[in-house]
Structure 1
Amino acid sequence: MISSKPVIARFSSIASRLLLASALLLPLFLGLTGFFLDRAFENSLEVAERSRLRGHVNLLMSVAEPITKNEKIHSLRMPVTLSDADFEHPNSGLYSYIFDNQSKLVWRSNSAALSDPPDYKRIAKSNTPGKMLFSEKLLGGNLHFIARYTVKWEDARGTPTPFHFVVAHSADEYTAELKAYRNELWRWLGAAGIFLLIAQTLILRWGLRPLGKLAQALKAMQSGDTSNIAGEHPRELQKIVDNLNQVLEREQALRQRYRNSLADLAHSLKTPLAVLQSKLVEGVESDGELQQIASEQVARMNQVVTYQLQRAVSSQQKGTFRRTRLEPIAQRLFAALQKVYAHKHMEQELDLAPNSIVAGDEQDVMELFGNMLENAFKYGNKQVRVRSFVEDTQLRIDIEDDGPGVPDDQTERILERGQRLDTTIPGQGIGLAVAAEIVRSYEGNISIHRSELGGARFSVCLPILPISS
């Protein structure tokens, strides 16, 4: 059994496929072109032939004179010689005849003197006086073009006498001219086909050269010589190259983020592990004290791991432009936080614009507003309010509470990692920092102001539409 894999591999490139398609379609196109050109030239030869025959018939009628007897026309008188030389040379290929109403030969040209006259009844199946009729017939074994015209001459009494003028021209000249044209036509079309294939091969090589350049740039990047796809490329490929470079940059940034997170995680776990190790080596007075120390350090390690996981997740959303409705997320967060802070009996107010849609991943939006709403519930006294406004291509969300608020000189510091203003309430100062990182990763911004409720107002601006690349 013959495998088809070599054949598939042979035409796996774009150039080979285009050349194969051209090699199959070009002969078909040139064949149709040659066919239509051949038909057009053949029709033009037939039109020219009929025009010449019409001229010959008109010439014969113009020089014919009726012969009368007893005031009746019984024949026609023709000149001894005609102006067209082909009518005078025997067997020249151009012949003329005149027949009477009984299909009897009345006159013939000198060129037809050495050949038998044709049978008019075989030439003409019917007659239409006053109309030029054309046909193709075999005369003497050769094809001839024939023109017929019937004229009725009236005598002195007005009695019409019909006469049939016939001109026959051999088709040898027509056939030879058509054959010569066809030979030249197919010769030139064949040469044009070869030229077009060669030209298309060169054009394909020139046109696909940027793909080879792109492949070299990718190979250089893969080998580590460059960090992205370098060089200038055609407009159609440049968009792909730019998008690939953006993907590569995001992948490199994400990989670096993972490295930093692992380094931070290792550094953060180093201290609590050292404390545990030292206590185990030194020994403690009681199991209760060891349990307390282990519980504290394990809780701290859990906080560190949770934060690093949150930071790793928040770094992945850039470039994933999903559309997330804010209202159902806000409703779920309100319901959950009301249970957690049920002892505070918080009053909640939700006033969202109809088209409050964030161009972001649902988990990121949940993480972002979950941290901020929890902060509002944690530091608010009795009231929390969430409102949204559409401003151009951005959605602004205000989260307000009636708590102590944030001093103006502390608005930047509170968004930093591990920074807390009120240390009396349990917390690690991570939630707002994570929220700020998510907002920045979506190219948005977050600001802190004084709320009308008396506490803090956190304003978050996020793009409604995907960020243009």
Structure 2
Amino acid sequence: MNSLRARLLAATAVLLLAFIVLTGVALETAVSERADQAEHDRLQGLSYALLGSAEITDDGSFKLAPRVLPESDLTRPESGLYAFVLDEKGSSVWRSPSLLGTVKLDMLPAVGEWLFARVERNDTTLITLAFGFRWVTDDGKDYRYTLVVAEDASTFIKQMQRFRGVLWTLLSASALALLIVELLILRWGLAPLRRLSRNLATLQSHEKRRIEGRYPDEIQPLVSNLNTMLSNDQARLLRYRNALGDLAHSLKTPMAVLRGLAEDDNLDESQRRPLRNQLARMNDILDYQLQKAAAAGKRSLAPSLAIAPIAQKLSRALTKVYAEEQTRFDVRVAAGVKAPIDEGDLTELLGTLMDNAAKYGGGEVVVGARIVDNDLHLWIDDNGDGFGEGSTQRLLERGVRADTSREGQGLGLAVAAEIVRSYTGEIELGRGENGGARVRIVIPAE
């Protein structure tokens, strides 16, 4: 789970679910206990009313006339409200007219104690309250009784079920509403990060080299540091190129003077030849080092550059250069193929390789490129004799040439290899589809 919003939302959902469950259980328990207490108090009040109307004869008989019963439901058979009295042996000595059968209790309370319980009777649940008491007659006889008041729990159970349904429905709806609100809050809170991400993407697709706008205090230092890094990167590259231009300009005059001396007829040929050779070597070394140092290389947040326009522009220029040879250039690059590479580096890379392919090929050069697994795959094919046998990787070294029949210093492939390595890429030499040479390049596109 790499998304910050998904992580925060998942954590919030877990906490909210735990809170909702605990709250629901606590409310349900509290209401159930309160309902039980209310039922206990009601049955207890009814028990006091029954005891207040009761009479005990000298022989221990318990009497309670139906007309003095405190609840009319006690007089209607199987009304759901019952009362009965048990002696100390547990035998029934009186029952209300509403009770037609029997109710069995698991245990009897002691004298002076109340016992609140639920018992099963004929597939129904009864809520019972039993009270143990002693009755002493005027002649001193002592009797031990248990008064039991019972009520059908069906209504109570249905009420609790309705309450649970309403409770969990409301809590679930509240949880869903809170999650939606939390999602909106996260969207609002993470909006600066999304804006920063869009600005970074804009940097990679346009020439703009600065992140614009104000951001929250937690993000602004990061934005400021990124802008500073981008500014320093651009300024450093500009300084390098300006310094290289100054170096090339400053060496131009001394090299011209030495070249003039090398062509001076007053010098013997034995003197001019070594001088020309050394000047040529100096010129080769200077060209190679300038091209190597001028490469921008991989930069932070570099804009993505379309490959096709550069390749097509070079193909048009080289077509004119090799007009006599009637060399054909075929660019097979889709418009959407892009990579974060400096325009100067790409021009130098493609120009060098396409020029080599035209120079040593058989009159046909193919340039192709595509994106595979976020990597730029670029290749240049010709229909010449290829690189020949042996280790082709040596041709990527400075000064090594595969064909010495044509003019050159053996720097083209070496410069191309340096540019590719500066982008942490790979360059391979092999055989193309036409049987000629193929230079294959892989550069990370991200």
TM-score range, shorter chain: 0.5 to 0.7
| Separation of aligned partners in 1, 2:266 and 2:138 | 157
Letter in 2 for 1:75: S
Query: Which of these residues, 59, 82, 95, is aligned with residue 82 of structure 2?
Result: 95
Query: Which of these residues, 220, 236, 242, is aligned with residue 260 of structure 1?
Result: 242
What does the per-residue CA deviation read over 1:305-326, in whole Å, with 9 as the maximum and x for residues that have no partner?
Answer: 9xx9xx99xxxxxxxxxxxxxx
| Separation of aligned partners in 2, 1:227 and 1:203 | 31
> Which residue of structure 1 aligns with residue 117 of structure 2?
135
TM-score, structure 1 length as denominator?
0.51
Letter in 1 for 2:233: E
Query: Which of these residues, 50, 57, 79, is aligned with residue 40 of structure 2?
Result: 50
Contact 1:50/1:147 (8 A) holds in 2 = yes
| Separation of aligned partners in 2, 1:14 and 1:242 | 22
Letter in 2 for 1:243: N
Letter in 1 for 2:190: L
Q: Secondary structure at the match of 2:68?
A: coil
**Is the counterpart of residue 61 in structure 1 residue 47 in structure 2?**
no
| Separation of aligned partners in 1, 2:141 and 2:106 | 24
Query: Which of these residues, 128, 141, 149, is aligned with residue 167 of structure 1?
Result: 149
> How far does residue 201 in structure 1 lie from its aligned partner after superposition?
3.8
| Separation of aligned partners in 2, 1:114 and 1:125 | 23
Query: Which of these residues, 102, 117, 139, is aligned with residue 118 of structure 1?
Result: 102
What does the per-residue CA deviation read over 1:72-107, in whole Å, with 9 as the maximum and x for residues that have no partner?
Answer: xx2344464144454455443222212222333333
Q: Secondary structure at the match of 2:211?
A: coil
> Which residue of structure 1 aligns with residue 362 of structure 2?
none
Distance 1:223 1:139, change over 3 A: closer
Q: Secondary structure at the match of 2:111?
A: coil
> How far does residue 19 in structure 1 lie from its aligned partner after superposition?
5.8
Q: Which runs of 5+ in 2 are unaligned?
A: 295-446
> How far does residue 165 in structure 1 lie from its aligned partner after superposition?
0.8
Contact 1:284/1:290 (8 A) holds in 2 = no
| Separation of aligned partners in 1, 2:81 and 2:117 | 15
| Separation of aligned partners in 1, 2:102 and 2:124 | 12
What does the per-residue CA deviation read over 1:408-461, in whole Å, with 9 as the maximum and x for residues that have no partner?
Answer: xxxxxxxxxxxxxxxxxxxxxxxxxxxxxxxxxxxxxxxxxxxxxxxxxxxxxx
Letter in 1 for 2:100: D
Query: Which of these residues, 122, 135, 141, is aligned with residue 153 of structure 1?
Result: 135
| Separation of aligned partners in 1, 2:14 and 2:27 | 21
> Which residue of structure 1 aligns with residue 256 of structure 2?
274
> Which residue of structure 2 aligns with residue 467 of structure 1?
none
> How far does residue 118 in structure 1 lie from its aligned partner after superposition?
2.1
Q: Secondary structure at the match of 2:79?
A: coil
Query: Which of these residues, 199, 203, 224, is aligned with residue 221 of structure 1?
Result: 203
| Separation of aligned partners in 1, 2:248 and 2:120 | 107
Distance 1:284 1:212, change over 3 A: farther
| Separation of aligned partners in 1, 2:8 and 2:70 | 62
Letter in 2 for 1:275: V
Q: Secondary structure at the match of 1:282?
A: coil
> How far does residue 131 in structure 1 lie from its aligned partner after superposition?
1.5
Where does 1:64-83 land on structure 2 (aligned, <5 Å)?
64-68=54-58, 74-78=60-64, 80-83=67-70
Contact 2:74/2:97 (8 A) holds in 1 = no
| Separation of aligned partners in 2, 1:131 and 1:211 | 69
Contact 2:53/2:68 (8 A) holds in 1 = no
Contact 1:137/1:146 (8 A) holds in 2 = yes
Letter in 2 for 1:229: I
Instruction: Give the RMSD, CA atoms, in angstroms.
Output: 4.4
Where does 1:367-378 land on structure 2 (aligned, <5 Å)?
none
Q: Secondary structure at the match of 2:260?
A: helix
Distance 1:256 1:129, change over 3 A: same
Contact 2:126/2:150 (8 A) holds in 1 = yes
Identity in percent: 33
Distance 1:145 1:26, change over 3 A: same
TM-score, structure 2 length as denominator?
0.53
| Separation of aligned partners in 2, 1:123 and 1:61 | 20
| Separation of aligned partners in 1, 2:89 and 2:199 | 93
Contact 1:81/1:88 (8 A) holds in 2 = no
Contact 1:97/1:107 (8 A) holds in 2 = yes
Name which of structure 1's ranges 153-162 and 211-220 shifts more when overlaid on structure 2: 153-162
| Separation of aligned partners in 1, 2:226 and 2:43 | 75
Q: Secondary structure at the match of 1:135?
A: strand
Distance 1:221 1:124, change over 3 A: closer
